[in-house]
Structure 1
Amino acid sequence: MAAVLNSVRAFFTPQTFHIEAENPGDVVARENLLDRAMGPGRRRKSSEKLRKGRIPADGLALVARDNDGHVIGTVRLWNVEAGVTPEGLPLPALLLGPLAVDSLHEGKGIGAALMRAAISEAANRGHGAVLLVGDAPYYERFGFFAAKTQHLVMPGPFERHRFLALELKDGWLDGAAGMLVASGRKLSY
């Protein structure tokens, strides 16, 4: 009975977007969306220093598309080293960002769906933690908190209370300290 009820709800609830892997044809649409959503200063952020000249982590560049196939949302995750472990070893992690949704499509749950998809895919791929710089009230509902980043720093200015982490594996960030460093594959020109 529950399956029938869910299929009836699905029938009456129109799907206004879907999420899939980003493809090379999405570059212009993604960059235009990010420029509109983040403004002209988006390339000066500390997070950008970790992304510049790098390729997103394998399988972790996602877009939301409307029913006509237009990119209306984006999220990407990047390989970083989250400082070092207490033993002095580099600690692999992911840096999430930017997350953006076209202003014409805000309030439809697209950002939340992109977050859930990104977190799920990162966990499925065996990653230990995801870090980001963002608004705590928004990201806390996905399990991101500042407590796990207290001994980590970004390369450049950042607001401590906005530097958040989610452990995908319990205890992954225990004892981690130091500066985030880019570790992903370099972009070939």
Structure 2
Amino acid sequence: MIQIRDEIASDIVVREHLLDACFGPGRFLKTSQRLREGRQPARGLALTAVQEDRLVGTVRLWDVEAGCGRPALLLGPLAVDPSLQGVGLGGALMRAALARAAECGHGAVLLVGDAPYYARFGFAPEKAAGLYMPGPFERERFLGLELQAGALEGAEGVLRATGALEPLPEVAAEAAAFAARRRAA
């Protein structure tokens, strides 16, 4: 049985291994990663899927400003163990993350990802049309979702990272060191 729960400190290093398996070292070059680097996920919005105490999925949401001071969340990465891809775990993680974000009162979620996949959750490129990432990105993959009606209406400008700068305690240093070793490899 797979359980979706809040991420805990001991998940962080294992999560990095899962992200490597799913995305490889190129993930460190993405603009989305630059926005997340050195920050904590939004409070209560880092979820992990575990099966028999083995981490098999992850999703995090991050505080950002969607142009002109408008708060939003940036989703990503969403990753599922390659041996479990295609069984609906990614969808379950997405639904859990979006429900939690709505419960916490967030108005909008943005992401860079596969438009056909994320459309089933309500994401659309039109919702992010006036927004830009602060580096290279594929316009057709930049998607938005309003959790509250009108939350992205008229939003214009460049996404800016906000939220806590302090990384999680001691394991964050270990995760950062692991990430640095992977980038150097």
Tell me the TM-score normalised to structure 1 length: 0.87
- How far apart in 1 are the matches of 2:150 and 2:85? 34
Corresponding position: 1:33 with 2:12:
no
User: Equivalent of 2:135, from 149, 156, 159?
Assistant: 156
CA distance in 2, matches of 1:46, 1:138: 20
Structure 2: which 5+ runs fail to align?
168-172, 174-185
Larger radius of gyration: 1
Partner amino acid, structure 2, of 1:27: I
State the AA in 1 paired with 2:60: R
Q: Which residue number in structure 1 is paired with residue 57 of structure 2? A: 73
2:107 alignment partner in structure 1? 128
TM-superposition CA deviations, 1:32-61 (whole Å, max 9, x none): 000110111101101011101100000000
Identity, % of aligned pairs?
Answer: 59
Tell me by how many angstroms 1:121 deviates: 0.1
Q: Which residue of 2 aligns with 1:11?
A: none
Offset of residue 187 of structure 1: 2.1
Give the number of aligned pairs. 168
Greater CA deviation, 104-113 or 90-99?
104-113
Alignment of 1:83 with 2:62, yes or no, is: no
1:148: how far off?
1.0
Q: State the secondary structure of the residue aligned to 1:142.
A: coil
Give the alignment partner of residue 64 of structure 1, picking from 49, 56, 67. 49
Offset at residue 106 of structure 1 (A): 1.0
Which 4+ residue blocks in structure 1 deviate beyond 3 angstroms? none
3-state SS, counterpart of residue 98 of structure 2: helix
Name the Cα RMSD after superposition.
0.8
1:20 is aligned with what amino acid?
R
Residue 121 of structure 2 aligns with which residue?
142
How many angstroms does 1:79 deviate by? Answer: 0.1
Query: What is the rounded CA distance, in whole Å, between the counterparts of 1:170 and 1:183 in structure 2?
Result: 22
Task: Indicate whether 1:113 and 2:98 are aligned.
Answer: no
Task: Name the SS of the counterpart of 1:184 in structure 2.
Answer: coil
